[in-house]
Every structure is written in C-alpha cells, then in structure tokens.
Amino acid sequence: MLLRKYHIVVFKDNEGVCKKLHIRGWIFFAVAGLLISLVAGNIHFWSYFAGYKLVATRLQETGRVVDEQKNQLVSLSNKLKDLEKDLLRVREFDSKLRVMINLETQMETTGAIGGQDSFFAKNYLPIHRQELLARKMHNFLNQLNTDTRLEEMRQEDMVEAFKHNPSLLASTPIIWPTDGWVSSGFGRRISPFTGQAENHLGLDISGRPGTPVVAPAKGVVSFSGVDGGNGNTLILAHGAGLSTRYAHLQQAVANEGDTVNRGDLIGYLGNSGRSTGPHLHYEVRLNGVCVNPLRYILN
C-alpha cells in the first residue's frame, strides 16, 4: 500500500484537457503524520502557555505580597530605631540626673542597644535577608524588655534619693543662667590673652550687655563683689558641697547672705574685669573642684 502509485487526474473546465499527478502511497501517511504532529504540538504548547500564564500570575501576586511584607518590615525597623533613640535619650537623661544627685561619679557612655552590631546600621536593609531582619528585630525586642526593666530599677533608686532629700533637685543648677551662646566651653582651650593652652574652668556665655542673669537653683549668696580679673562676681552656695560662680557681670543685684530661688534675678551680663567682650563666665564647683556645668543643665 505504501509503495503503490496513485494517479490524480485534474480536468480543466470546458477545455477537455486533463492533467495527471502520480503520487506514492507513503506520501499520504507522511502528510497525515505531519498534520497530527502539528496538532499535538499546538495542544502541548497551548497547555504549556496556559500553565506559564498561571505561574506568572501567581509569581506576580507573590512578589506583591513580598514587597508589602518588606515595606512592613522596613516600617517596623524604623519604628524600632526611633524607639531605640528614645530609650537612649531616657537613659542619658537618667544618667545625668544620677550624676547631679551624686548617685554616680561620671556620665555613662551608652551605645546602641545590642552593642556595636546593632542591626539598625546604615545600609542594613538592602543587604541582608528579610528573615534575618525579622530575627534580629525579635532579639532587639527581648533586649528592649530587659533594658526597660533595668531602667525602672534605676528610676526607683532616684525616687528613693529624692524622698530622703526633697530639696536636692531644687538646689541643683539645672537651667541656663542667662540667654546667649557658648563662646568657650569647659576644658582645654587656647587662651585669648596668652595664646597658650590652658584649662578653662567654666562656660563663657556671650550675649548682649545687660542681659539678665538668673539663679539656676536655690542657694545663698556667699560672695558678691569685685574679684580681680573676674570683675564683678557673684557666688551662690547650694549646699551638699555644690556652688556656682558668675563672673564679668555688669552689675550684681543680690547681696551676700541673700537666699535666692531658681529663676530669681541675681545680676546682669557684662564685660567687667579681664575680658575680651561681653559675656558671663559661669562655673559649677563640687567640693571646691570645677566640673562641667553641662553635666547639670537639663533645659
């Protein structure tokens, strides 16, 4: 059957002419096989295309869910970072208060919660996987819970200290004595007179002459007068070995022996004594030793 010859006769209409075609039998089977292959191939590719579209749709939905989860993780990490900053600020404020009331001798230096490998470091999110971020946030929350409990215990210590000495905070110089800007800080500096390095024992707060100077805490005026190169000077004794000094005043309005409260006017900013311009030289002394006034100022 495959080797037989088949004749196809084609007649042209109204011309009486015919044409014969000789075809082997196997050609029919070849054509039929080709058609079947084409149909089967189309069915296969159509089913593959339909499956591909379904997978692509699911992949797109999954990508959208992953993006939403990533945005939520980023938002949560930013909130935790803000929470970390708030806790550090509370801890620093707590440490400052403890130094002020002599529960501690120096300020604690606190770093990021969780140590130097804090997961809130810059460029963290684009580098690490989301699973790692979620795990680290979980660890941070555990650490935060521990730090919060420790902070509560520290606060209880301060409350007890204030209970035993209720006038302690009122006698602590926690506000700025005048308005202006700090033109020279506490510690090592170059002397404006000699050009040599020296220890500056207070803060120089520059401002307009005549700017009011107020008491930063309750105290008794232990000195009010001219003190050599310091010019017009006033000293307040606050008790517990704490005192404050105000130099280069234009005028002191409080007299020796006066008791003043926080915010009371004690003088005016000036340029008396050995001075390069109108400013207030402000010192805080603890048991006669000068300490950085910023250690006490809260506002």
Each residue's pLDDT expressed in tens, for the chain with a length of 299 residues: 555 666 666 666 666 666 766 666 667 677 788 888 888 888 878 887 777 778 888 888 877 777 777 777 777 777 777 777 877 777 777 777 776 666 665 554 444 444 444 444 444 444 455 667 677 777 777 777 777 777 777 777 766 766 666 677 788 898 999 999 999 999 888 888 888 888 889 999 999 999 999 999 999 999 999 999 999 999 999 988 899 999 999 999 999 999 999 999 999 999 999 988 999 999 999 889 999 998 888 87
pTM higher than 0.75, yes or no? Answer: no
How many other CB atoms sit within 10 Å of the CB of residue 225? Answer: 11
Decide: helix, strand or coil at residue 102. coil
Sketch the domain layout of the chain as residue ranges. Answer: 5-59, 69-164, 181-295
CATH architecture label of 181-295:
Distorted Sandwich (2.70)
Element counts in the chain: helices (H) and strands (E): 2, 14
Q: What is the DSSP letter of 285?
A: E
Residue type for position 106: Q
User: What is the spatial distance between Cα 41 and Cα 185, in angstroms, rounded to a whole number?
Assistant: 86
